[in-house]
Amino acid sequence: MKISVLSGKGGTGKTLVATNLAAAVRPSQYVDLDVEEPNGYHFLKPRLRETVSVGVPVPRLEEGKCTGCGLCAGVCQFNALAAIKNKVLIFPELCHHCGACSLVCPEKALQEVQREVGTISIGEERDFMQGELQVGEPVAVPLINELKRRVKENGPVFFDCPPGAACAVVHAVEDTDYCLLVTEPTPFGRHDLAIAVRLMEKLGLPFGVLINKGDGKNGDVHQFCREKGSKILAEIPFSLEIAETYSRGELLIQGEKDWLHFFQNLFGKIKEEVGHENHRHPQR
């Protein structure tokens, strides 16, 4: 079972939830897909056994073959190539590695070579994986796809997804069994939860809501969930003690046993939701 933990905005506490879920449910696998700013390792403190380079294919020009016709620059939708005075310039950082330029070149002057965009770190028992995008790289999707390709097939997998609702998030959540949307009872939280809910509806993915930093009031987020028919699975109260625990890089379940039971019960609710969804839609 693959569970994606995400939010419409940063700072809601999705890493808090994802890491504690992964630690409370054993055996399981935690995969940090927030490759631009991975931080799950601060809390799970894994022993890393392997680091793997991840590259993407980009064009390399063989100038002796190039006639400067400009067909490659014309077909590129991302301005990664430019034809100026019968000379082709390549900007590899803009390349989305679609391969179109190599295909249209009549002289076969463009050959694809690998360019490193980041690395993947793998835990000792493969119960932890994270990706780290190199500084300045604009596209996180290749790293996310490679991480998902390497997940274990046995046992639950918790994906700690990037914030927001852009391409990286879409690739992170697709083909998962359930999405847990972490939000907070603020106007910004409600606004960005609405964006995340629309994304779930667009992708046809089952989801539930967890409210973090709850104030105990029946506020805008509760009202929004009632209006949308979105199920609130759990609520974590606003607490200075929780904030201090998080700031020390510690898991909540390492303290009071109540938190271990909280996250185990949360996982039980998610399993029930997945079971109901599979019953309603056997083709999933």
Q: For each of the chain's 284 residues, which pLDDT tens digit applies?
A: 999 999 988 889 999 999 999 999 999 999 999 999 999 999 999 999 999 999 999 999 999 999 999 999 999 999 999 999 889 999 998 999 899 999 999 999 999 999 999 999 999 888 999 999 999 888 899 999 999 999 988 889 999 999 989 999 999 999 999 999 999 999 999 999 999 999 999 999 999 999 999 988 868 999 999 999 999 999 999 999 999 999 999 999 998 889 999 999 999 999 999 887 775 666 55
Element (H, E) at 279: helix 257-280
- If one counts every other C-beta atom within 10 angstroms of the C-beta of residue 116, the result is 11
Q: What is the Cα–Cα distance from 188 to 186, expressed in whole angstroms?
A: 5
What one-letter code names the amino acid at 174?
E
| DSSP letter (8 states) at residue 141 | H
On whether the CB atoms of residues 46 and 77 are closer than 8 A, the answer is no
Residue reference for tokens 């700013």: 37
Domains of the chain: 2-47+124-280 (3.40.50.300), 57-115 (3.30.70.20)
β partners of residue 32: 130, 160
pLDDT at 283: 58
- Can you read off the two tokens belonging to residue 199? 């994304």
